[in-house]
Amino acid sequence: MSFANLGLTSELARAVAEEGYATATPIQTQAIPVVLAGRDVLAGAQTGTGKTAAFVLPILQRLGRATGRSPRALILTPTRELAAQVAESARTYGRYVDLRTSVVFGGVSINPQIDSLRAGCDVLVATPGRLLDLAEQRALDLRSVQCFVLDEADRMLDMGFIHAIRRVLKLLPSQRQNLMFSATYSDEIRSLASRFLRDPATIEVAVRNATADRVDQQTYRVPKEHKRHLLAHLIKSGNWHQVLVFTRTKHGANRLTQQLESSAIRAAAIHGNKSQGARVRALADFKANRITALVATEVAARGLDIKELPHVVNYELPNVPEDYVHRIGRTARAGGAGCAVSLVSPDEAPLLRDIERLLKRSLPQSALPPYPVSAPPQHSVQPDRPAQQSGRGHGHGQRPQGQHSRESQPRRDRHSGGGRSDHPTAGNRSTGGNRRRERSAGRPRAATPFRTVR
């Protein structure tokens, strides 16, 4: 179905057409008319099927033209990258309408964001921590919000944002439209939805936690110490020009980036300890094909939107099975095709079983190709973290038994005058959001010996 047939104005339909989209995706076909009608929505769809446009387009139409200074639509996202992506989409689709879009998140100075809000905005895209900072400083008034969107709600729960969401809801007027969009669709999401959605239209265009149909998924069983050698071989022998590689830890991302560079593969890392400027530059270089491999941690899984990304590699399997769906959803977006490769070491076999149980099918296993094993580098990689944390490393990115990765938690906002972490429970932590992730985030078990492939 065309976008014009969905009831969108000619200005919005024109902007969509200029982006090369002629036919609406299933989630857009079902959601846009319902949102235009003013109903609350609980929607789930595969990653990469156009969820952002499904709520941004009808919101822009319902808002009409710019009025006043306070935001009339609030879109809450879990990560900076996703917030920036949604704001860019709102500006792109709204280029022919008189509406103002602002985005606020931590990790950068708060002052330009305050100036932007004072100038007035109609659509505000925000992460929870920075939003609450601005509200406490009385730099933001949310009493005019007509539409509230909770994007990637499942990630919000995983990261422990439930308390921050409740605080945000208290700042909003009682009469408003509520939209909940997510790539995965769980019973926990339904429970959260029941707290603030009013008679919502439930839209689910795919099987729960399904992966995109056009993703070619394959696994390689490989010793942990040989993973980097196999990855370098796959990139070079396959002539891969663009590959997104996921690791579990920040230090692991730094180490793998240097190892790929030593194999003459241009690479950069992106994770929570990188400054916002460094993350933006790395992503820009990747999109422009100035680097071949972008090595990322889970913090980037939901915020990266790269058109026609051909390859995604799970260098390490995620601790939470649902994160596998989001990771490989970075490829085969908007009806395209892509390849997702998972390198599975013996100690990761339980994680693979969890993923297959979630997907309700087995992932195909490929035969190991012959690959060269080079000598290890003569120098070590220093963790990319603040100096006061440098004593926490225990080699190879692992932690002592009982200590768990905090990569899933947003880093502390850095701006003049201090501020809170974008994680809502900083200073008063609860374990609710990360209980599943903690179950296997300790030191991996020793790998079973494999025969060396040369």
Asked whether residue 194 falls in the same domain as residue 222, the answer is: no
The residue segments making up the domain with residue 227 are 215-359
Please report which helix (H) or strand (E) contains residue 203, including its range.
strand 201-204
The predicted pLDDT at position 205 comes to 75
Supply the Cα-derived Rg of the chain in whole angstroms. 22
Nearest to 144 by CA among 71, 74, 59: 71
Q: What is the CATH number of the domain that holds 164?
A: 3.40.50.300
**Cα gap 248→359, rounded to integer Å:** 21
Residue 15 lies in a domain: yes
Asked whether residue 177 falls in the same domain as residue 270, the answer is: no
Asked whether residue 66 falls in the same domain as residue 184, the answer is: yes
Residue 445 lies in a domain: no
Tell which of 359, 375, 410 closes a domain: 359
Asked whether residue 15 falls in the same domain as residue 71, the answer is: yes
| Count of structural domains, the chain | 2
Asked whether residue 33 falls in the same domain as residue 178, the answer is: yes
Residue 388 lies in a domain: no
Q: Cβ contacts of residue 23 below 8 Å, gap of 6+?
A: 1, 2
DSSP for 379-435? SPPPPSS-GGGGGG--STT---TT----TTSPPBP--TT---BSSTTTTS--STTTT
Asked whether residue 245 falls in the same domain as residue 331, the answer is: yes
The Cβ of residue 2 has, within 10 Å, a number of other Cβ atoms equal to 14
Residue 417 lies in a domain: no
Asked whether residue 18 falls in the same domain as residue 90, the answer is: yes
**Cα gap 268→20, rounded to integer Å:** 30
Give the pair of three-digit tokens for residue 269.
Answer: 């890392």
Residue 130 lies in a domain: yes
Q: Cβ contacts of residue 54 below 8 Å, gap of 6+?
A: 25, 27, 28, 31, 32, 35, 43, 45, 181
Whole-prediction pTM value? 0.67
**Cα gap 262→380, rounded to integer Å:** 12
The predicted pLDDT at position 201 comes to 94
The predicted pLDDT at position 400 comes to 40
pLDDT along the chain (454 residues), means of 10: 87 93 90 96 77 95 92 94 92 95 94 96 96 96 96 81 92 95 73 88 71 80 96 95 93 95 94 84 90 86 71 94 83 71 96 93 94 66 44 40 41 41 44 43 44 42
Tell which of 359, 387, 406 closes a domain: 359
Asked whether residue 178 falls in the same domain as residue 299, the answer is: no
* Measured CA angle at 340 (ends 335, 345), to 5 deg: 160
Residue 116 lies in a domain: yes
Asked whether residue 68 falls in the same domain as residue 175, the answer is: yes
Residue 250 lies in a domain: yes
The predicted pLDDT at position 301 comes to 57
Asked whether residue 241 falls in the same domain as residue 275, the answer is: yes
Tell which of 204, 239, 272 closes a domain: 204
**Cα gap 250→247, rounded to integer Å:** 8
Which is it for the CA torsion 356, 31, 173, 411, positive or negative? positive
Residue 157 lies in a domain: yes
Beta bridge partners of 338: 215
Nearest to 166 by CA among 151, 156, 155: 156
**Cα gap 6→251, rounded to integer Å:** 47
Asked whether residue 221 falls in the same domain as residue 191, the answer is: no
**Cα gap 161→128, rounded to integer Å:** 8
Phi, psi of 373, deg, nearest 5: -115, 110
Asked whether residue 127 falls in the same domain as residue 153, the answer is: yes
**Cα gap 136→120, rounded to integer Å:** 18
